[in-house]
Homo-oligomer: A and B are copies of this chain.
Amino acid sequence: MITPNILNTPSTPIILIYFVYFETLKIPTNMTRSQLFEQIKLKKTFLCVGLDTDIKKIPEHLQSLPAQDAIFEFNKAIIDATEPYCIAYKPNLAFYECFGVEGWIAFEKTVRYIREKYPNQFIIADAKRGDIGNTSSLYARSFFEHLDLDAVTVAPYMGEDSLKPFLGYEGKWVICLALTSNKGSHDFQLSTVDGTSTRLFEKVLGTVKTWGTEDQIMFVVGATQGKMFEDIRRIAPDSFLLVPGIGAQGGSLQEVVRYGMNKQCGLIVNSSRAIIYADHTERFAEVAAQKAKEVADEMAECLKPLL
């Protein structure tokens, strides 16, 4: 059998250019689980900054701008200030859609800004979408083709064919709601199912994880759920979890780490309001950076056993 020596083939220059180009820009076309863990180890943080940009809460000097500029300028300042302390950004679509077209412009500009300036950041569209198969495939197209996001949050209620289309993109992720951080999580997610003691969120975890690999599927588990992380890790030991709810919603980082961290960290912990609205003056970005650094410092301690 002939083993081709790659450096002697005619396409070597192309391969080299490709390699140099992607290494320089560090475009994470395929952000696998281990690449995500590499970023976490490198930056000693697993913080995700939630870009829930509410125009009523941003500093006054920005509020005089047209909505799309106000939102984008706010995001840009927050991103530039917090970038050293996080590995992911998560704009929640609701905050953009409520301005219609203007909001979508701000959303797209924000995503493109992060992608170009900080290509190693993992970008999550917090959209909680899900529809019948042919329709979900269009949502997937929105987030993975029209825009080059890394992940999108989806709701599991409509089952397999509503999630599958998102899994057809190499290196892209689906983050499925499992046990959310809000009070309403008790209404249906905690119902036991099928005559067993299994709760709905556990059935969702156990079922959805069979639809793809741990390099494709993460789960949303609210930081407010404390010891429930133990139950979750029994079902999905290796999956990454996206954890909202620390800060303003009252969840504890220490509890999340104690019960939820795995050998590859396995956690992306989100904070939105506690960071981005920590200050309402012209110093908002600087204070946001301080807040993000505080969380990142705490995370660096938590990561020590893994480094």
Contacts and interface: CB of A to CB of B under 8 A. Distances in A.
Interface in A151-177: 155-163, 177
A20 to B, nearest CB: 30
Contacts of A259: none
Instruction: Indicate the member of A98, A133, A185, A200 with the most B CB atoms within 10 Å.
Output: A98
Interface stretch (A1-9, A34-42, A141-149, A233-241): A141-149
A181 interface: yes
Contact of A177 (B98, B147, B157, B177): B157
Given A95-B135, A181-B132, A193-B192, A100 B159 contact: no
Contact of A195 (B105, B192, B200): B192
A158 B182 contact: yes
B97 A139 contact: yes
Q: How large is the interface on A (under 10, 10 to 19, 20 to 34, 35 or more residues)?
A: 35 or more
A279 interface: no
A94 interface: yes
The quantity of this chain's copies bound in the complex is 2
B98 A108 contact: no
Nearest to A186: B159
B138 A97 contact: yes
Contacts of A177: 157-158
A180 B158 contact: yes
A269 to B, nearest CB: 16
Contact of A132 (B100, B101, B180): B180
A188 interface: yes
Interface of A: 52, 54, 92, 94-95, 97-101, 104-105, 108, 126, 128-133, 135-136, 138-139, 141-142, 145-147, 155-163, 177, 180-189, 191-195, 200, 203-204, 207, 249
